[in-house]
Chain A
Amino acid sequence: MSAQYDDGTILLDDATLERFHRATGGEAWPCYQCGTCTATCPWGRVRQEPLLVRTLMRNAQLGIDEDGESLWLCTSCGICEDRCPRGVPIVRILRALRSLAWKDRRIPEGLPSVLWAVHRDGNPYSLPPCERTRWADDLEVKEFEPTDEMLLYLGCTASYDRRIQKVARSVVGGLRAAGVQFGTLGASEPCCGETALAMGQTAFAAEIAEANAKLFAARGVKTVVTISPHCFDMFQNHTPRLDEGFEALHYTQFLARLVSAGRLVCRGSFPRRVAFHDPCYLGRRNGEYDAPRTVLESIPGAEIVELEESRAGALCCGAGGGRMFLETPVGERFSDLRVRQAANAGAEVLATACPFCITCLEESAPQVDQPLKVMDVAEIAARALEPEGADVEATASGR
């Protein structure tokens, strides 16, 4: 077992070193210990003791086995990676270290249960698969067919969380307004596997991804559009392509295409000052900053303001990397800082496009003095679809 003594002496052992290298693929080697990552990591802004990213990288290089509690703090926001002068894939390395922690069974309480839920129920919330379609009970959304323009992939949170179901219904409203022919996988929709990946269960995530690739191929899916940027990232970057493959899109990307093609036109208006919070998995992790803004800009009346830290520099909401399933004490939540930035920018509405961001930001919103409403881009668009903006969500009767 490797060890580090108070006088700075480090004792290394070959077996651990070997084990670390196999897990990380040696990807930590380029790190030259500049410390930029530790300095940029948002944990340093909310905690006395920052997340010592640089130290974790050195541990990964040398095979030093430390108590890994801090390992589970990382939200995989990717800002450190973006700034790293050596291009070290920090998030991937941290996931590899997490996978070693699973082997040693040094894992925060609650995470095994989340994974069992994904394995058994196909969602991390331990909810029955047969309830997956309840969000659309009165919407008459049909099963996907290969002739459809795209597969709408709800994901677990939009399927089960009543707050996020509203987002899904708004997306459906937008798609119907634009005359898009689409379907879903109904109750047989599987989990995308991102929760497993984020928690460092790489093999389990790969198993899910492979099954999903087969499913998409068998069902004739050519385009899959997700509600959550987390599912999008999973399909885009971690799911293999079989046969002709498929294109993965986040719904803001799909809506932006519809806007550009003149298919989605908002006839109503949304006369508010709106700031957009870039979800890490859409922005930094996948380089998509423009699509949500294109949709927002197409909405008459909406005045778009930028947050102090936006686009590639956006501050994370705090829920990525499995943090949605781990408790963060009051005072240490990134979303508290973020809603203050929205207030400073004079926003009345804080828009975003990720179920986890919505949950975190909405919970923090009461902390600012002026009223701040947290809405999804789809909800804003749905509200502005028709004059007088009566139509907040899709309804059974209409579109």
Chain B
Amino acid sequence: MNPASNNGLRTIVCLKVVPRPEEVRVDAETMTLDRAGAQSFINPPDLNALETALKLKDACGGEVSILSMGPPFFEPYLRLALAVGADRAFLLSDRAFGGADTLATTYTLAKGVEKIGAFDLVLCGEESLDGATAQVPPGLAEWLDVAQVTCALEIEKVPGKREMRVQRELKGGSETLSVDLPAVVSVKANVNEPRFIDYDRMEWALQEAPVGVWGAGDLATDPELTGLAGSPTTVAGVRQVATPDRRRKHLSGSAGEIARALADLLRTQTGSRGG
């Protein structure tokens, strides 16, 4: 359906599948996460990254590949991304990759990017809903030894040059960067409205589209650097902190007392991220 093109941008979008946060529970006995009962979806900012990639493709041509690391059940979600508009997809899936922290994850993803071949741009969602580390894009850029931009708001190709203009969020504002390609760019959540599935692509996406599944052997990864073995950090414990429900706490007293309580609350809430 979509022959590889030699012109335009070769973009790789990293995509992750995450469990619905409100359905994840901590098993009080084993102190581990129980995701089994939770439904999953595509990490929402990754759809913003995909939309950015497809817009760039609309503007300057090229092709969009999806890259993901995870268990085989991710595959249908990759196919969904193909139905939205991506051209091909690759899933890095191997028991040896399990239990990876960001160091091992970024190493494995970098090996996947290298195996896909020459690229201009790797786009990631700002952060994942489950881990919320936002460290994958910079780590990936380091392994690949290419330019990096995080918190991107807008991306534009500079015509005729291996260069992009990227608007990036700063604390209290933004900056515009000129970025040499190839580069890894992470896209802020909600910067665009992801286009919906194109049902005309569905049959192709579900049945014909190529989804490469690569294991440790295919990538020739160093076992010391992948999965649990390649992860310097360990989880020492988990606990449930809050249900996503609203607290519905009533403040009562005289108007003055309520005002004081509210003022205290707002001073901490506006300084911090609450929750």
Contact = CB atoms under 8 A, between A and B. Distances in A.
A and B touch in the complex (CB under 8 A): yes
B41 interface: yes
A105 B196 CA distance: 10
Interface residues of A, number: 18
Contacts of B196: 102, 112, 115-116, 119, 201, 204
Nearest to B47: A116
A318 to B, nearest CB: 24
A130 interface: yes
B197 A119 contact: yes
Contacts of B200: 103, 203
Contact of A204 (B23, B194, B199): B199
B224 interface: no
A201 B202 CA distance: 13
A109 interface: yes
Contacts of A119: 196-197
Which of B23, B193, B196 gathers the greatest number of chain A CB atoms within 10 Å? B196
A105 B23 CA distance: 34
B22 interface: yes
Contact of A105 (B22, B195, B197, B202): B195
B21 to A, nearest CB: 9
A109 B194 CA distance: 10
Which of A116, A129, A207 gathers the greatest number of chain B CB atoms within 10 Å? A116
A113 to B, nearest CB: 6
Interface in A189-245: 201, 203-204, 207
B217 to A, nearest CB: 34
B157 interface: no
A128 B22 contact: yes
B154 to A, nearest CB: 16
Q: Majority SS of interface residues in chain B? A: loop
A120 B41 CA distance: 7
A110 interface: yes
B199 A201 contact: yes
Given A130-B22, A130-B23, A203-B202, A116 B194 contact: yes
Interface string A108-132: 0110110110011000000011100
Contacts of A129: 20, 39
A103 B201 CA distance: 11
A109 B22 contact: no
Given A128-B22, A130-B22, A130-B23, A112 B195 contact: yes
Interface string A140-180: 00000000000000000000000000000000000000000
Nearest to A122: B39
27 contacts: A102-B198, A103-B198, A109-B193, A110-B193, A112-B193, A112-B194, A112-B195, A112-B196, A113-B193, A115-B196, A115-B197, A116-B196, A119-B196, A128-B20, A128-B23, A128-B244, A129-B20, A129-B39, A130-B22, A130-B23, A201-B196, A203-B199, A203-B200, A204-B196, A204-B197, A204-B199, A207-B199
Interface of B: 20, 22-23, 39, 41, 47, 193-200, 202, 244
Given A129-B39, A130-B22, A201-B196, 18 more contacts: A102-B196, A103-B200, A109-B193, A112-B195, A112-B196, A113-B193, A113-B194, A115-B196, A116-B47, A116-B196, A119-B196, A128-B22, A128-B244, A129-B20, A130-B23, A201-B199, A203-B199, A204-B199
